[in-house]
Amino acid sequence: MDKLYLRGGRPLFGEVRVSGSKNAVLPIIAACLLPISPCILHDIPDLADVHTICLVLQHLGARINRQGKTLEIIPTAKPNTEAPYEFVRQMRASFLVMGPLLARAGLADISLPGGCAIGSRPVDLHLKGFHALGAHIEHGYGSIRVKTGLGGLWGKRIYLDFPSVGATENIMMAAVLAEGQTIIENAAEEPEIVDLANFLGAMGAKIKGAGTKVVRITGVRELHGATHTVIPDRIEAGTFLIAGAITGGNILVSNVISDHVKPVLAKLREMGITVYEECGGLRVIGPEKFSAVDVKTMPYPGFPTDMQPQMMALMTCAKGTSIITETVFENRFMHVGELKRMGAQIKTVGRNAVIQGPVKLSGAPVKATDLRAGAALVLAGLCSQGITEVSNVYHIERGYEHLVEKLQGLGADIWGTDI
């Protein structure tokens, strides 16, 4: 899809089902390089990022069959060990094949992901972990080559300077086949880590403490294939909750684990928005008026950085002054300029954004600068006067399955065009 168009001002009604989680499924697909037999994965969303990670696995030698929302991944005994820039530049999460390749093949040569719109996003913590497990690390021409020494990987105690989601996942996947016990301290606690650990456990891995700050992995000789259903996408769920609230609608968001969206629910309620659990989902009722709130993004269980742009869109319609402090990524305010083009009153100072509301947003041509920035513009468009035109829709397609159809199903006046 090239561009999205929205005619705002319609309250949303009805029910929307949340898809499988993008951020859970990407490491889980990478983990399918580890076992000696095939894996079956259910509730796999139809997303650009999922297609990319599947291409990476196929390039590495795995065979993949897709039937609807189910994937069968058949690993190869001798994987290719190189993931070139052509894949990694499309999606940073391609770097997550490094841990599984290192564990399974003793070698991985992966292009460096480089920075992106939201920050520089280094991979030093991933490499620090692999080094601690005994891997040699060589920096090549735009790529990193990691190799096990004689005797393979050895379990170690690894302290992460920051609870990085990707580093925790990559190190966990390398450690499952290492000799002895690995302890990751200050590990990320995100639900996606728990989902990956559950999948690895189903393959025969021994992991304790996933979802807490200390993860203990006892290496095993080999892993076998497993069947797994991916958790619902908590960021997509949060985005739809805001869509209901910002339009003054009344919608049921189904297939959501309410515990995973707790920090978002807390802020919505603080703003005076009604959200409650109802059989199989969360109902949100958007009041005519709601109040400003302050939000600080933090690693889980704090408020997710991946919901910050969407929350900012909501804050433009809240009465009073809201402040957002972005602590996870150093450059995640690219949507501010675009929201201001729609009439939002926002000032940024360093990692803080001050949002003055309520304003009546008006439709404008705007550009999605990254995935969640794009989602924020769609939300703003849903409550704007006139027509909003969103370009660079490919960012949104990385992480929202059938967004146009889902919003149309709730009564939104939204449509897309192809080039």
Ligand X SMILES: CC(=O)N[C@H]1[C@@H](OP(=O)(O)OP(=O)(O)OC[C@H]2O[C@@H](n3ccc(=O)[nH]c3=O)[C@H](O)[C@@H]2O)O[C@H](CO)[C@@H](O)[C@@H]1O
Ligand Y SMILES: C=C(OP(=O)(O)O)C(=O)O
Binding-site entries for phosphoenolpyruvate: 22-23
Minimum gap (Å) between residue 248 Cβ and ligand X: 29
Give the contacts of 234 (CB within 8 A, at least 6 positions apart): 21, 191, 256, 257, 260, 261, 264, 304
- CA torsion 360-373-240-312 (nearest 10°) is -50
| CA–CA distance, 81 with 290 (Å, rounded to integer) | 53
* Residue among 141, 143, 159 at smallest CA distance from 108: 143
* Residue among 339, 387, 345, 343 at smallest CA distance from 367: 339
Minimum gap (Å) between residue 261 Cβ and ligand Y: 15
Residues 274-303, one symbol each (x = binds ligand X by CB under 6 A, - = not), give ------------------------------
List alpha helices for 203-318, DSSP H: 234-246, 262-270, 308-315
Tokens of 66: 């897709």
Considering only residues 155-214, where is the footprint of ligand X by CB under 6 A?
A: 162, 164-167, 188, 192
Which CB sits closer to ligand X, 56 or 251? 56
93: contact with ligand X by CB under 6 A: yes
Which CB sits closer to ligand X, 49 or 109? 49
What does 399 bind: ligand Y, ligand X, none (CB cut-off 5 to 8 Å by kind)?
ligand Y
Positions at the binding site for UDP-N-acetyl-alpha-D-glucosamine: 92, 121-125, 306, 328
263: contact with ligand X by CB under 6 A: no
DSSP E strand stretches across 241-386: 250-254, 274-278, 281-285, 294-296, 320-325, 345-349, 352-357, 365-367
Tokens of 383: 């409550």
Q: Please give the residue whose beta carbon sits closest to ligand Y in the complex.
A: 306
**Among 10, 104, 126, 216, which residue sits at the site for ligand X (rule: CB under 6 A)?**
126
What does 303 bind: ligand X, ligand Y, none (CB cut-off 5 to 8 Å by kind)?
none
DSSP at 95: G
* Residue among 309, 311, 313 at smallest CA distance from 344: 313
Minimum gap (Å) between residue 411 Cβ and ligand Y: 26
Contact 253, 240 (CB under 8 A): yes
Contact 216, 182 (CB under 8 A): yes
What does 52 bind: ligand X, ligand Y, none (CB cut-off 5 to 8 Å by kind)?
none
**Among 99, 191, 381, 399, which residue sits at the site for ligand Y (rule: CB under 6 A)?**
399
Which CB sits closer to ligand X, 342 or 376? 376
Which CB sits closer to ligand X, 125 or 380? 125
| CA–CA distance, 271 with 265 (Å, rounded to integer) | 10
Q: How many residues does the chain have?
A: 419
* Residue among 333, 358, 359, 361 at smallest CA distance from 347: 333
Minimum gap (Å) between residue 409 Cβ and ligand X: 25
92: contact with ligand Y by CB under 6 A: yes
Considering only residues 371-390, where is the footprint of ligand Y by CB under 6 A?
A: 371-372
The catalytic residue among 32, 39, 116, 383 is 116
Reply yes or no on whether 32 is catalytic. no
Give the contacts of 311 (CB within 8 A, at least 6 positions apart): 242, 264, 267, 295, 303, 324
List alpha helices for 164-258, DSSP H: 165-175, 191-202, 234-246
What does 125 bind: ligand X, ligand Y, none (CB cut-off 5 to 8 Å by kind)?
ligand X
Which CB sits closer to ligand X, 167 or 251? 167
Minimum gap (Å) between residue 199 Cβ and ligand Y: 19
Residues 304-323, one symbol each (x = binds ligand Y by CB under 6 A, - = not), give --x-----------------
> What are the residues binding ligand Y (CB under 6 A)?
23, 92-93, 306, 371-372, 399
> What are the residues binding ligand X (CB under 6 A)?
23, 26, 93, 119, 121-126, 162, 164-167, 188, 192, 305-306, 328-329
Q: Which residues are tagged catalytic?
A: 116
